[in-house]
Amino acid sequence: MARVVLAMSGGVDSSVAAYLLLRAGHEVIGVFMRNGEHVATSCNVGTQHGPVLPITNPPSAHKQGCCSAEDAADARRVADRLDIPFYALNLESDFSRIIDYFVSEYLSGRTPNPCVVCNHQIKFGKLFAYADSIGAEYVATGHYARLEHTDEDTPALCRGVDPQKDQSYVLFGIHRSLLKRMLLPVGGYHKSDIRALAAELGLAVAEKPDSQEICFIPDGDHSRFVRSRAGSCNTSGEFVTVDGRVVGRHDGIERFTVGQRRGLGIALGEPYFVVRIEPDTRRVVLGTKADLARTELTAAQCNWLVAPSHTPFECQVQIRYRARPLPAVVTVLPQDRMHVAFAEPCYGVAPGQAAVCYQGDRVLGGGWIE
């Protein structure tokens, strides 16, 4: 029997993951990660370096995130139901750095992906440190992805069996050496099966809606959040077409991402898309879908879950969480960079997003689009 630290968000996936781990014979310790939301509770929650105490029942204040007070209460109730210990880690300073990154990327004309950063810095970063401190062999989450054992030294990270819920894309940044200490119990199930099992177990979260928004922006208004953090920084500017024609003004570059068509607030008689964002001039460049097409990209800060190839190799590359992976030839470059040449035009290549390489269902690695 192995000791496992399980990240519990209060949702149905991590709740059923706890049961599946118990059923497999593991000793499960549930952990909820606080992102700094201040609520009135009757206990003091410690950090990974200090005392870590069981949390009490916080007040109900539900939001569509994964770190709210009600989410913590839901996770605690599931832990009580399954009779496993449950603790909270105060990771406010770590989440604060992710928030700073999020705001900085938007103000730089890039499109951040805080969930990917959170996964490899916190969920599979700080949680491993906590696991080590209590002698736990594994760290587990409720992500829809799979770990397949191969002849290699480390398991292969693969897509979850439910194509509508696959989350392997957001896990590409995990250090390869940690794969052998990860458990992903729900990756071999479809979401409907997980909900059915939760109902069978009598878990109150069986029908709880999935988190749809970034945990620190529960209302989904990214631009409002960035503006609230940007202070007096002026991010307004001009809309221009790809040929340099000024066609209007916007109130902030943080409202846009490459590939965006809706919500531009400007009518040009035919569909126009955001083709480029220029932070220095604060211009948002618009064009047709043809103008949006790209046949190559470069990415930096690459992380490989397989031994990096010394020669160009064929694979499929996915540029957004829900994007269709496209066939491409990838060349690994010095200084943790890579070049991707697509076999067909790719639309919506946004600097700041992750480009993740797959071989079939297996994640090979990826990097951040430059």
Active-site residue numbers?
A: 118, 215
| CA 251 – CA 266 distance, rounded (Å) | 12
> Strands 138-140, 3-7: parallel, antiparallel or unpaired by DSSP?
parallel
Q: Which amino acid is at 218?
A: P
CB 348 within 8 A of CB 318: no
- Enter the DSSP assignment of 281: T
- Rounded CA-CA distance 355/253 in Å is 22
Q: Residues 187-194: contacts with CB within 8 Å, 24+ apart?
A: 187/143, 187/144, 187/145, 187/146, 187/147, 187/158, 187/160, 187/161, 188/146, 188/160, 188/161, 189/161, 189/162, 190/161, 190/162, 190/165, 191/144, 191/162, 191/164, 191/165, 194/12, 194/13, 194/16
Contacts of 85 (CB under 8 A, 6+ apart): 29, 30, 54, 79
Distances (CA, A) of 25 to 7, 21, 71: 18, 7, 26
3-class DSSP assignment, residue 161: coil
User: Do 65 and 213 meet the contact criterion of CB atoms below 8 Å apart?
Assistant: yes
Torsions phi, psi of 35, nearest 5?
-100, 10
